């Protein structure tokens, strides 16, 4: 409509000179190009992808996965329609010696596809040939191998791992409180300390600590309590120790059995310095290019070893399967290796991650959609949608198994701690009842009130009269 208006005004002006004619042609060209771009935005985009679990998978006649969900969210934000086709040659994007691109990158370069939505690593070579958006996922290079070939180094305090820190603190508090209860009960109960004025209390605080420690080590330490209240406290503590040691040795045995193998491969240096375990990576991948172009001596040895042995694999599934069979370490993208670890509990990924990079969506070079896609990806990241998709498609079936090896927390032993508290409280209460019973009988003999006799008894017992001082006084008088 604007072009037609401009043409009409031009014809009415009847000023046909070169300057006006050139301006008309330029203005009409811009308007037609703008119209063509807007029409292209309404057309159906052709998207190329590749089958890789969980990015793109077949479900009947349709495709599903992380990349399909990501593509759907981007289409909603930018308002475009699309049709997804699998890449014909089954390759991600590699360049031959003549500079020709194959795989999904090649289809975008040749114009066979408008977008490539897959775990395509952002590299300098690809950035020169096509447009690549902001990364929708961060990854790196790591090692996948069987769990029996990779385990943590044992530490000096691994014997404490069966219990959590809060559990150990709870056990220490229970030990001190129990020793204190032994000391209090031995002072209050007349069966333990009948004559506080003349007798020495055998169950002092130090002996109470020693007695509780003896029970904690299943060795025992005398003398043992004689009163009912003292025996109640003692039996309760023995039961607590029995359950505690049972839980400790059960967890310690499980931890040692799960980590019984010594670490053979901790990182890429260990991998490069041995010839027992075979290793390789995906042929024609960016991981292979990383080791090929690296100046690190260890990485160069890894690349030369893979070239010499021709230990490359043609697909991610083949690499995971060889790692499961044993005596093979698969080098690949850490995100993809995490998925394999989540699916197969006998596999583990090394902690070392090198060559951090990102996965991006590919567009033709100079495409006007590149910036819009990048902005939409950043918006999905800021809203938490990308994190949700990651948790959705990377759900691990091995989480229950790994939870078993975790340290036993105090919450799991609340019952036995509660039983100990009840037993200690009952022992102290019985010692008070025993003292009250003796005070009542003495009150009847002395014809005094029970409260006065009881307060006098409590004063003698809690004052902690030292027998040695009372014995030193007559000796000095005789001298």
* H or E element in which residue 182 lies: helix 165-188
At residue 73 the predicted structure's pLDDT band, cuts being 50, 70 and 90, is very high
Whether pLDDT at 148 is above 80: no
What is the mean predicted confidence (pLDDT) over 166-194?
84
What's residue 190's pLDDT? 76
What is the mean predicted confidence (pLDDT) over 177-196?
79
The upper half-sphere exposure of residue 84, i.e. CA atoms within 13 Å in the direction of its Cβ, equals 21
Whether pLDDT at 29 is above 50: no
At residue 466 the predicted structure's pLDDT band, cuts being 50, 70 and 90, is very low
What's residue 404's pLDDT? 43
In 3D, which of 71, 103, 74, 102 has the Cα closest to residue 84? 71
Rg of the chain's alpha carbons, rounded to an integer?
40
At residue 74 the predicted structure's pLDDT band, cuts being 50, 70 and 90, is very high
Region at 107 (left for phi over 0; alpha for psi -120 to 50; beta for the rest): alpha
At residue 264 the predicted structure's pLDDT band, cuts being 50, 70 and 90, is low
State the alpha helices, DSSP H only, in 407-478. 414-446, 450-463, 467-478
What's residue 323's pLDDT? 92
The upper half-sphere exposure of residue 57, i.e. CA atoms within 13 Å in the direction of its Cβ, equals 8
pTM above 0.85, yes or no: no
Distance of alpha carbon 377 from alpha carbon 360, whole angstroms = 10
Lowest mean pLDDT across 39-43, 217-221, 415-419? 39-43
pLDDT higher for 323 or 436? 323
User: What is each CA distance from 394 to 124, 185, 288, 341, in whole angstroms?
Assistant: 28, 58, 25, 10
Region at 464 (left for phi over 0; alpha for psi -120 to 50; beta for the rest): left
Whether pLDDT at 261 is above 50: no
What's residue 463's pLDDT? 67
Please provide the average confidence, as pLDDT, over all residues in the chain: 79
Q: Which residues are annotated as a binding site?
A: 119, 121, 126, 286-287, 333
Q: Which residues are annotated as a binding site for L-glutamate?
A: 119, 121, 126, 286-287, 333
At residue 68 the predicted structure's pLDDT band, cuts being 50, 70 and 90, is very high
Contact at 8 Å (CB) between 183 and 203?
A: yes
pLDDT higher for 461 or 124? 124
What is the mean predicted confidence (pLDDT) over 89-95?
86
At residue 81 the predicted structure's pLDDT band, cuts being 50, 70 and 90, is very high
What is the mean predicted confidence (pLDDT) over 441-449?
67
Lowest mean pLDDT across 58-67, 274-283, 291-300, 430-439? 430-439
């Amino acid at each position: 409509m604007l072009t037609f208006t401009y043409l009409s005004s031009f014809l009415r002006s009847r000023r046909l000179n070169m300057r006006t004619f050139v301006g008309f042609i330029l203005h009409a060209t811009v308007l037609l190009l703008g119209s063509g771009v807007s029409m292209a935005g309404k057309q159906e985009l052709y998207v190329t992808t590749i089958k890789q679990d969980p990015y793109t998978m077949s479900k009947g006649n349709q495709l599903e996965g992380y990349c399909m969900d990501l593509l759907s969210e981007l289409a909603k934000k930018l308002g475009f329609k699309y049709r997804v086709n699998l890449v014909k040659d089954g390759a991600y994007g590699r360049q031959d010696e003549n500079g020709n691109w194959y795989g999904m990158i090649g289809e975008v370069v040749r114009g066979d596809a408008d977008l490539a939505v897959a775990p395509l690593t952002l590299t300098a070579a690809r950035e020169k040939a096509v447009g690549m958006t902001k990364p929708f996922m961060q990854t790196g290079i790591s090692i996948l191998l069987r769990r029996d070939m990779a385990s943590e180094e044992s530490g000096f305090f691994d014997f404490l791992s069966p219990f959590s820190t809060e559990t150990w603190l709870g056990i220490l508090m229970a030990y001190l409180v129990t020793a204190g209860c032994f000391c209090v009960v031995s002072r209050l109960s007349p069966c333990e300390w009948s004559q506080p004025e003349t007798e020495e209390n055998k169950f002092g605080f130090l002996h109470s600590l020693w007695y509780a420690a003896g029970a904690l080590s299943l060795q025992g330490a005398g003398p043992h309590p004689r009163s009912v209240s003292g025996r109640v406290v003692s039996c309760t503590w023995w039961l607590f120790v029995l359950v505690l040691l049972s839980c400790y040795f059960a967890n310690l045995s499980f931890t040692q059995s799960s980590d019984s193998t010594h670490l053979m491969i901790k990182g890429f240096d260990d991998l490069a310095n041995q010839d027992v375990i075979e290793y390789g990576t995906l042929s024609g991948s960016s991981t292979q290019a990383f080791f090929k172009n690296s100046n690190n001596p260890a990485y160069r040895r890894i690349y030369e070893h893979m070239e010499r042995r021709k230990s490359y694999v043609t697909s991610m599934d083949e690499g995971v399967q060889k790692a499961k069979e044993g005596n093979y370490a698969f080098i690949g993208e850490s995100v993809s290796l995490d998925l394999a670890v989540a699916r197969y509990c006998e596999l583990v990924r090394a902690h070392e991650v090198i060559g951090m990079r990102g996965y991006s969506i590919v567009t033709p070079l100079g495409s006007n959609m590149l910036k819009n896609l990048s902005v939409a990806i950043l918006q999905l990241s800021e809203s938490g949608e990308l994190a949700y998709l990651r948790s959705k498609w990377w759900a691990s079936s091995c989480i229950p198994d790994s939870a078993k090896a975790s340290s036993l927390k105090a919450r799991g032993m609340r019952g036995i701690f509660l039983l100990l508290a009840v037993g200690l409280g009952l022992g102290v209460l019985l010692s008070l009842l025993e003292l009250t019973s003796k005070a009542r009988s003495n009150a009847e003999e002395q014809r005094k009130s029970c409260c006065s006799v009881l307060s006098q008894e409590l004063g003698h017992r809690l004052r902690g009269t030292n027998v040695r001082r009372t014995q030193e006084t007559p000796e000095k008088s005789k001298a």
